[in-house]
Amino acid sequence: MPDLIAQSGDREGRWRRGMPELSAGRDVLLGREPRTSFASDGKGTYADTSAGKAIAADQPQRRHVAAIPWAVTWDASISRHHAVLTVLEGDRVRVSKDPRGRNPIFYRGQPRESFVLVPGEHFVIGQTTFTLAKRPGFTVETPGSSKDSNKPISVRRGLTPSSDEVQDTAQSPDWTSPPAMGEVTEMAFAASSLRKRNFRDTQTRIDLLARLPDLVNGSLGDEELYARVTDVLLRATPAATAVAIVKSTPGSKSDSTSNSRASSNALLEVLHYDVRNSDPQAEDVSTRLVAATLERRDSVLHLWDATSLGRNPSGRNPSAQGNDGGSQSDSGSDVEYTSAANVDWAFCVPLRSDACRGWVLYVTGSRAGVLRGDQGGDDSDGLIERLSDDVKFAEVVGSLVSGIRQANQFQHRHAAMRRFFAPVVLDAIAGTDSESWLKPRECDLSVMFCDLRGFSRTSEVHSDQLLLLLEQVSSALGVMTKHILETEGVIGDFHGDAAMGFWGWPLPLSGDIDPKVAATLAAAKAAACIRRDYVGGETEFRCGIGIASGPAVAGRIGTVDQVKVTAFGPVVNLASRLEGLTKIFGVEVLLDEVTASRLKQYDEHAVDDAEFSLSLRYLGLVRVAGIQTPVEIHQLVVPVDGQPTLTKAELQQSRQAWDAFIAGDWDNAYELLHRLPAWDRPKDVLLQKILQHHRVAPPDWDGVLTFQK
């Protein structure tokens, strides 16, 4: 996609940004302080919706657009919202004046409300010129483009010189030699050598570097970061005509043969490109130089004699074909470097951090600009000396950007993990190797599955208000996850309207709290809160929670950048099945025997909450889908003010009824169950089974209720 260059009368008011991809379907909102939300009728007219303003009834129906805001802060003639840029096919851009824009937009000398811009054209608002420019591609070789396409190119490599060639390697690049006719000199700068080198204009460089951390940290996104870094490099390198940030995508690798070291241009991407002026005809990036830098992992400089590379009288290389093909000189040579008018050097600096893997800073310019103002001295020596300064400065900038992006990436990763881990867990593992403690391992866990009841019915009712439904679901799930994290649990996963959490990994719970108790407390608090909200009319959902405890494997799956932690094993399946049974039994929380037994043994006060006391209700033996062994289950009774609950006597009577049911004494079980309150749902499961068999247990009765999936 093309770039848009904004340029005022001075260097301070300028930026260059890449237009969004056509497939992204996003417009650009241009203005002094643009917001990100507006509405369009699809015909080039817009209305502000950023503050929730309603569109008048007599206005045509408009579509809401999430726009990318681009600020032009330096020009008071530009309104807060002034123009909307829409990407079209063929690198074209439609420019539409926003109704809120006060001053006209001039295109081809005339004020226009809407027009289509093609690369090379510009428009003016106030004192600022906006130019659409093609983003440079890469110079690439075209196989078979000449009879000598397989002939090696003569390049003076950046190898370590012998002692009689260079006396002070700490102050010099690995190799210095003026290029011969038709040749390109390649020089590599070891990072250790550059660190020992002193700047010639130290104060100027320090002043620029002092501003860089604030500029980088103040960037709102990667695009703005790229623009600020390239701007600093252009300011610090007066002879540079262009600066680019280039990324090599995964899978890209260089051919180490002398004839072709350039990667395919399909594996390289220009993240940002900027030039000293607004000339839309920018030169392509040398793939050979980028590939050499990525291969060596050191900064690499290319020098060439511009007059010997097949120039025509106009000074532009007629063979440069950009993205359409390779570059071939008039003489038929395969020289394929960045060789264009007034450009005869280029260097690349690698960014050495995982956050910028495969990135390089690419700077190109003319030696005339480097040597301008030098008095006396050898031309070649002065060129190498000044360019070495520029390479060192770019290395420092690259190191700073790499470090800041690495720190930001860590912060984002840490923030992402806060969605899964309790703060006390993150504090405990801070400063440790995440790979070690995130590695999957077997341990004893208590696993909880939480599901929202009434989701299908509510989604049908609110089918025309899906955003409202999503907000309600998120709020209810937030109640669950809040109590999981508060009890030092881990958020394992989300499944639509359900969430999974577990306790016992990666660290023991603080205060020697048993994971089974922690899981039970989290379930009780979540169930009570959601029930209160339901009774109060604040939500349309109820919840069902299943908890099971036992051995399982827990740990990270996926990549380091996209951390997803989960647990798997039979106990996870059992917790999921118990959550499903809460629908059948009409209860909020079901526990397996292992969890319930631990609660019975635990200090009574440990399972008491300030708001309610918890009790267990035996619900017999069940056989669930996928698990052949019968499981003893218990209901966690969670009293809530204003809601009925069974008394201790009724709980005892319920246990007697279940014992009679299991023993096959269904007549007695029937009588006992009928004495329980009518609102009690679990008793209905037994009554239905008993009545199906006319109050007589079948001959093969084994005392286990079987439930299919």
3-state SS assignment for residue 121 = coil
For residue 494, the cross-strand partners are 499
pLDDT band at 560, cuts 50/70/90? Answer: low
3-state SS assignment for residue 114 = strand
Most confident of 24-28, 101-105, 338-342: 101-105
**CA atoms of 404 and 356, how far apart (whole Å):** 10
**CA atoms of 451 and 543, how far apart (whole Å):** 6
What stretch of H or E contains 226?
Answer: helix 222-236
Instruction: Tell me what pLDDT residue 565 has.
Output: 79
Instruction: Tell me what pLDDT residue 55 has.
Output: 36
Q: What tokens does 704 get?
A: 């286990």
> What is residue 698's DSSP assignment?
-
For residue 301, the cross-strand partners are 187, 347
CA angle, corner 228, sides to 215 and 245, nearest 5? 130
Q: Is pLDDT of 555 > 50? A: yes
How confident is the prediction for the chain on average, in pLDDT?
74
> In percent, how much of the chain has pLDDT > 70?
65
Query: What CA dihedral angle connects 601, 604, 605 and 610, to 10 degrees?
Result: 130
**CA atoms of 579 and 570, how far apart (whole Å):** 14
**Position with higher pLDDT, 386 vs 360:** 360
Peptide bond into 644 cis (omega under 30): no
Instruction: Tell me what pLDDT residue 664 has.
Output: 94
Strands 93-97 and 83-87: antiparallel
Q: Is pLDDT of 115 > 90? A: yes
Q: Is pLDDT of 85 > 90? A: yes
Helix residue ranges per DSSP H, 367-508: 367-371, 379-417, 423-429, 434-438, 455-461, 466-486
Q: CA 197 from chain center: how many Å? A: 38
Residues in the chain: 709
Answer whether 422's CB lies under 8 Å from 486's CB.
yes
The Cβ-side half-sphere exposure at 624, using a 13 Å CA radius, reads 19
Please state the rounded mean pLDDT for residues 564-568. 82
Q: Counting Cβ atoms within 10 Å, is residue 596 exposed (0-12), middle (13-18) or buried (19+)?
A: buried
- Reported for 206-213, long-range contacts at CB under 8 A and 24+ positions apart, including other chains, are 208/232, 208/235, 208/236, 208/393, 209/393, 209/396, 209/397, 209/400, 212/397, 212/400, 213/400, 213/404
HEC-encoded secondary structure of 582-618: HHHHCCCEEEEHHHHHHHHHCCHHHHCCCCCCCEEEE
Q: Phi, psi (5° rounding) for residue 632?
A: -85, 130
Q: Is pLDDT of 153 > 60? A: no
Picking from 59-63, 460-464, 504-508, 556-560, which range would have the lowest pLDDT averaged per residue? 59-63
CA angle, corner 311, sides to 256 and 260, nearest 5? 10
3-state SS assignment for residue 644 = coil
Please state the rounded mean pLDDT for residues 282-305. 84
Please state the rounded mean pLDDT for residues 144-160. 39
The Cβ-side half-sphere exposure at 628, using a 13 Å CA radius, reads 0
The sign of the torsion formed by the CA atoms of 456, 457, 460, 462 equals: negative
Answer whether 591's CB lies under 8 Å from 636's CB.
yes
**CA atoms of 155 and 579, how far apart (whole Å):** 70
Q: Is pLDDT of 106 > 90? A: yes
> What is residue 399's DSSP assignment?
H
Please state the rounded mean pLDDT for residues 671-694. 94
**Position with higher pLDDT, 280 vs 146:** 280
Q: Is pLDDT of 323 > 60? A: no
For residue 47, the cross-strand partners are 39
pLDDT band at 466, cuts 50/70/90? Answer: low
According to CATH, the topology of domain 3-133 is Tumour Suppressor Smad4 (2.60.200)
For residue 442, the cross-strand partners are 553
Q: Is pLDDT of 101 > 50? A: yes
Q: Give me the DSSP letters along 543-580.
A: EEEEEEEEEEEEEEEE-SSSEEEEEESHHHHHHHHHHH
**CA atoms of 575 and 626, how far apart (whole Å):** 12
- Reported for 92-98, long-range contacts at CB under 8 A and 24+ positions apart, including other chains, are 92/116, 92/117, 92/118, 93/2, 93/4, 93/19, 93/117, 93/132, 94/44, 95/123, 96/44, 96/45, 96/46, 98/29, 98/31, 98/38, 98/46
Instruction: Tell me what pLDDT residue 219 has.
Output: 62
- Tokens 């999957």 correspond to what residue? 440
**Position with higher pLDDT, 678 vs 418:** 678
What stretch of H or E contains 203?
Answer: helix 202-217
**CA atoms of 392 and 398, how far apart (whole Å):** 10
Domain 423-643: top CATH class: alpha beta
Q: Counting Cβ atoms within 10 Å, is residue 706 exposed (0-12), middle (13-18) or buried (19+)?
A: exposed
Most confident of 39-53, 131-145, 148-162, 249-263: 131-145
Q: Which of 348, 398, 366 is nearest to 232 (CA)?
A: 398
The sign of the torsion formed by the CA atoms of 614, 619, 621, 624 equals: negative
Instruction: Tell me what pLDDT residue 318 has.
Output: 33
The Cβ-side half-sphere exposure at 130, using a 13 Å CA radius, reads 28
Instruction: Tell me what pLDDT residue 512 has.
Output: 75
Answer whether 351's CB lies under 8 Å from 403's CB.
no
User: N- to C-terminal Cα distance for the chain?
Assistant: 52
**CA atoms of 245 and 359, how far apart (whole Å):** 7
Strands 563-568 and 542-558: antiparallel
> In percent, how much of the chain has pLDDT > 90?
26
pLDDT tens readout for residues 570-618: 999 999 999 999 999 999 999 999 999 988 876 544 454 445 577 899 9
3-state SS assignment for residue 275 = strand
Please state the rounded mean pLDDT for residues 1-28. 81
Instruction: Tell me what pLDDT residue 19 has.
Output: 87
CA angle, corner 343, sides to 152 and 139, nearest 5? 50
Answer whether 237's CB lies under 8 Å from 393's CB.
yes
**CA atoms of 708 and 696, how far apart (whole Å):** 22
Q: Is pLDDT of 428 > 50? A: yes
Q: Position 144: which residue type?
A: G
446: which residues sit within 8 A by CB, 6+ positions away? Answer: 502, 503, 504, 515, 516, 518, 519, 547, 548, 549, 595
Q: Which of 648, 655, 644, 663 is nearest to 683 (CA)?
A: 655
**CA atoms of 615 and 532, how far apart (whole Å):** 19
Please state the rounded mean pLDDT for residues 624-646. 87
Q: What tokens does 439 get?
A: 């590695």
Domain 161-408: top CATH class: alpha beta
Instruction: Tell me what pLDDT residue 328 has.
Output: 34
Instruction: Tell me what pLDDT residue 381 has.
Output: 57
